Amino acid sequence: MQLPAQQVAVLEAASTDEATSVDALAAATDLPPETVTGAVFELEDRGLVAVSERVDETVALTDEGRDYVTDGLPEIRLYEAALEAGADADPVSMGQVIGASGLEGGAVDIALSNYARKGYGTIDSGEITADADADPDADAEANALEALSDVDDAPVDSVGVDAETLESLERRGLLERRESTVREVTLTERAVTELMAGIETSETVGQVTPELLTSGEWEDVEFSEYNVEADAERFDGGKVHILRQTAERVKDVLVGMGFQEMEGPHVDADFWINDCLFMPQDHPARTHWDRFALERPAHIDELPEDLVERVERAHREGVGEDGEGYHSPWDEDFARALALRGHTTSLSTRYLSGEEVGELEPPQRYFSVEKVYRNDTLDPTHLLEFFQIEGWVMAEDLSVRDLMGTFEEFYAQFGITDIQFKPHYNPYTEPSFELFGTHPTTGELVEIGNSGIFREEMLEPLGVECDVMAWGLALERLLMLMYGFEDIRDIHGTLCDLDLLRETEVTY
C-alpha cells in the first residue's frame, strides 16, 4: 500500500488500544494540527483509523487575568498597602493607601469592589481598615490564577480549580470558557495488517508553487485531495450590528405596510416633545431628573406662533364645548427649552402639525426608527439611550381593534405572535395600552411598547380633524424577544457579548 507521508506519520503515531487526540498526534509527528486532521479524515475514508469526536469545555485566562498573575490581584495589592499603612490598627485615609498601592484607573474600582467582599477589611466614608486575619495566600481566586497561568484551553475538569472559583473569575472577566472539538483516533484491524505488510510513502503535493508551474513538474506530481472538513481558522470580520440589521428590517416591514419615514432633530424644544402632546408642564417626566437639558443653546427661536397659542389654550382651558384644561400655569419659555428628545413622539407632533410636510389629508401612515434619550438608571432592561419604533396612522375612523391588529401584523413579521395588551395612562392618548411579549428563555413578560389613540386635546390644536392612533415601541426589547438575551448591555457598550453579536443571524 502507498500513502502520503503525513498519513504514514499519523498511522505510526496512533495506536490500536488507546485513543490519541489530534493534538497529541500533531505533537508526535511534528505536523500542524490542521494537517493531522486532514490526514486523519483520509485515513478514516480508507478504513485505517476510527475517529471519535467530543466537545470539550476548556478554560483559559484572559489578558487581564494574565496581567494579575504578574502584578497580583488589585484587592490584594490594596490590602498589602493598607497593612503597610497600619490599617489593621486604625482606619487610614483611602487616598493615602491607594496612592501607596500604585493602583491606577479602573484597577482602583476593581480593588474597591472586591476588597470588602473578600474579607480584606472595610471601606467607609473615605477610610479603609485591614483585617489582620485575612490571608492573601489563601485567596482562592489568586491561587486559581496561578494554577491557570500556564494552561491554554485546558479542559475544565483538568485544571484543578473548583467550579465556584472558575465562575467568579469568569464573572470578573479574568477567565474565558470556550468549546473545542476534540477528535481522537485509534488504529483499525485493517491498519495493523497493512502496517505489518509494509506501507510505502508516496509524495503528494498540497500546494501549487510558481516553481512547479515554471518547471512543468506539476504535470507529474500527485496532488493531495481537498479536505473541506479540516478545521480552519475562524475569521471575525466586521459586520453590521444586529441592532442596525434589525432596524433596517423593521423599516422594510413598515414600508411594506404602507408607512413613510419621518426624520427630525435629536435635540428639540419641549414644545414639540411635550407641550404639543398635552403633557402638563408640571408632569414628573418634565422635571430635570428625567431629561437631558441643553445648556447652550438653551432655547429654540422658531415656533409657529398660532400653534403656540392654540396649544396654550388647550392646556389652560381644554378643547371643545365642555373641555377642561389643566388650569395650571403654562409658560412659553418653558416650552422653548431644548433637550435631547425622550421619545420620538416629537417627530409625530411635528409631522401632524403640518410643520414638516404641510397639512396632511387622511389616510396617512408615518414611522421612524430613531434614538431617544432618558436619564434612567442603567439596568438589564434600561439604557440612557435606545431606539424607538415610533408610528402613527391617521384615518377617518379608528378603533382599538385597528391598533391591536396593526401590532399583531407587525410583530408576526418577527416571529412574535403572543403580544399582550394592558390598559395604561398617557396624558396624550385615550385609551392607552402597554404592549408585552414573552421572553423566549425566561418566560417572563417583557414590556415592549406603549400606544393609544391621540386625544382631542392634542389633535385639535395641531389642526387634525380625524382619528390618529400611535405608538412607541422599543427596538432593543424586540431584539430581546427575537434573540433571547436577557441584558440590554449584552448588545450595547463595553460589556457586550461579542459572541452573541458575532454569531446572531438576523434572518427575519
Ligand X SMILES: N[C@@H](Cc1ccccc1)C(=O)O
Annotated binding-site residue numbers for Mg(2+) = 430
Q: Per CB under 6 A, does 65 bind ligand X? A: no
List of E strands, 276-384 = 338-340, 364-373
Q: How many whole angstroms separate alpha carbon 21 and alpha carbon 158?
A: 15
Q: Per CB under 6 A, does 367 bind ligand X? A: no
> Looking only at residues 159 through 198 of this chain, which bind ligand X when binding is defined by CB under 6 A?
none
Listed residue (193, 303, 211, 253) closest to 411, CA to CA: 253
Phi, psi of 365 (to 5 degrees): -135, 125
| DSSP track, 27-51 | HHHT--HHHHHHHHHHHHHTTSEEE
Report the nearest approach of ligand X to the CB of residue 311 (Å).
Answer: 17
Q: How many whole angstroms separate alpha carbon 130 and alpha carbon 84?
A: 10
Q: Per CB under 6 A, does 406 bind ligand X? A: no
- Which of 61, 470 has the CB closer to ligand X? 470
Residue showing the smallest CB distance to ligand X in the complex = 472
Report the nearest approach of ligand X to the CB of residue 305 (Å).
Answer: 26
Hey, how many other C-beta atoms are within 10 angstroms of the C-beta on 336?
18
Q: Per CB under 6 A, does 343 bind ligand X? A: yes
Report the nearest approach of ligand X to the CB of residue 247 (Å).
Answer: 17
- Which of 14, 403 has the CB closer to ligand X? 403
Is-contact 263 355, C-beta < 8 A?
no
> Looking only at residues 422 through 461 of this chain, which bind ligand X when binding is defined by CB under 6 A?
426, 429, 450-452
Q: Count of residues for the chain?
A: 508
- Which of 343, 350 has the CB closer to ligand X? 343
Q: How many whole angstroms separate alpha carbon 231 and alpha carbon 256?
A: 42
Each residue 460-479 as x (binds ligand X by CB under 6 A) or -, in order, gives ----------xxx-------
Q: Per CB under 6 A, does 414 bind ligand X? A: no
Phi, psi of 504 (to 5 degrees): -70, 130
Report the nearest approach of ligand X to the CB of residue 377 (Å).
Answer: 17
Report the nearest approach of ligand X to the CB of residue 411 (Å).
Answer: 16
Q: How many residues bind ligand X (CB under 6 A)?
A: 10
Report the nearest approach of ligand X to the CB of residue 131 (Å).
Answer: 49
Q: How many whole angstroms separate alpha carbon 499 and alpha carbon 503?
A: 6
Q: Per CB under 6 A, does 37 bind ligand X? A: no
Report the nearest approach of ligand X to the CB of residue 332 (Å).
Answer: 23
- Which of 461, 472 has the CB closer to ligand X? 472
Q: Check residue 173 and give left, alpha or beta (phi > 0: left; psi -120 to 50: alpha).
A: left
- Which of 183, 455 has the CB closer to ligand X? 455
Listed residue (137, 180, 168, 179) closest to 65, CA to CA: 168
Do β-strands 267-269 and 127-128 pair in parallel, antiparallel, or remain unpaired? Answer: unpaired
- Which of 6, 388 has the CB closer to ligand X? 388
> Looking only at residues 209 through 238 of this chain, which bind ligand X when binding is defined by CB under 6 A?
none
- Which of 74, 472 has the CB closer to ligand X? 472
166: helix, strand or coil? helix
Report the nearest approach of ligand X to the CB of residue 425 (Å).
Answer: 11
Report the nearest approach of ligand X to the CB of residue 432 (Å).
Answer: 6
Q: 367: which DSSP letter?
A: E
Residues making up the annotated binding site are: 345, 388-390, 428, 430, 454
- Which of 118, 477 has the CB closer to ligand X? 477
Q: Cell numbers at residue 350, please?
A: 411635528
| DSSP track, 190-203 | HHHHHHHH--EEEP
Residues making up the annotated binding site for L-phenylalanine are: 345, 388-390, 428, 454
297 upstream amide cis, omega within 30 of 0? yes
- Three-state helix/strand/coil letters over 389-409: EEEEEEECCCCHHHHHHHHHH
| DSSP track, 211-237 | HHHHHSGGGTSEEPPP-TTS-------
- Which of 11, 448 has the CB closer to ligand X? 448
Q: Per CB under 6 A, does 349 bind ligand X? A: no
Binding site for ligand X (CB under 6 A): 343, 345, 426, 429, 450-452, 470-472
